[in-house]
Amino acid sequence: MKAALISLGSVSSNWTYEAMKKYFEDAEHINLKDLEVDLGGKKPKVLVNGKPLEKYDCIYLKGSFRYLQILNSIASVLQNETYLPFAPQAFLFGHDKLLTHLALQQHNIPMPETYISANPSGAQKLLEKVSYPIVMKFPSGTQGKGVMFADSYSSAKSILDAMSALNQPVIIQKSLETGGTDMRALVVGDKVIAAMKRQAEEAEKRANIHAGGKGTKTELDFKTKELAVKTAQAVGANICAVDILKS
């Protein structure tokens, strides 16, 4: 079996490539920046440095949010020709909390009470009607960046004033009483292959490792595993980390 990793060559991509070399007879690493999609003819093609991409049994596509349109396009062209761990739409979901929220809601995955506003001035009206504490989020943040907690209207109002400078949509969510912990389930296909409990640092509510959280290996019960798999499927990801908050 022949596989390719298409990535930007980050440290984690190199780990993925090392793992792929162990599982496939032949594995190649291609730079995403060398790819383009030719939409000119009847059949769209993916090109590498101007030449058609070879045939692979599996292609693992990976890149940052700046590349999501090209990742989505490449996956759309290749999805019927080769096995892809991620459906085209998974790239859009992966970088957008808003789209993800809608997809999960449509699949009946329980989510905290959430409001969305097109811009900070619309969010102002929401702040007057929600009950506190709340969490305010930018749709595109990750690693805990762009996630802000407010215990009262006055603190929410000052956070919103700061957010106004960026004029982006704002997500306002009920803050769940988690004691700063969450569960991260690693889903591959229809199985949870590992899980960790993340605990936020003292005086911090975000459990992300990048925000100082500590992760310890844990076992999930059957129902939580089932929920994690259902969530991964809702966003079209066959390899996926699902964060679960228990309140």
Ligand X SMILES: Nc1ncnc2c1ncn2[C@@H]1O[C@H](COP(=O)(O)OP(=O)(O)OP(=O)(O)O)[C@@H](O)[C@H]1O
How many residues bind ligand X, per CB under 6 A? 21
- Classify 235 as helix, strand or coil: coil
Residue span 83-122 as binding mask against ligand X, x where in contact by CB under 6 A, dash where not? --------------x--------------x----------
| Ordered alpha helix ranges (H), the chain | 11-23, 68-78, 88-94, 97-106, 120-129, 153-164, 222-234
Cα–Cα distance for residue pair 233/204, rounded to 1 Å: 31
Based on CB atoms, which residue is closest to Mg ion, 45 or 145? 145
Q: Does residue 144 touch ligand X according to CB under 6 A?
A: yes
Cα–Cα distance for residue pair 129/127, rounded to 1 Å: 6
Instruction: Give the distance, in angstroms, between the CA of residue 6 and the centroid of all CA atoms in the same chain.
Output: 18
Instruction: Determine how many CB atoms are found less than 10 A away from the CB of residue 23.
Output: 10
Binding residue (CB under 6 A) for ligand X from 48, 126, 176, 194: 176
Based on CB atoms, which residue is closest to ligand X, 44 or 141? 141
Q: Does residue 62 touch ligand X according to CB under 6 A?
A: no
Binding residue (CB under 5 A) for Mg ion from 193, 226, 243, 246: 243
What angle, rounded to 10 degrees, do the helices at 222-234 and 97-106 form? 120
Q: Tell me if 199 sits within 8 A of 214, measured CB to CB.
A: yes
Binding residue (CB under 6 A) for ligand X from 3, 30, 90, 135: 135
Which residues lie near Mg ion (CB under 5 A)? Answer: 243
Which residues lie near ligand X (CB under 6 A)? Answer: 97, 112, 135, 137, 141-145, 147, 173, 175-176, 178, 182, 205-208, 243, 245
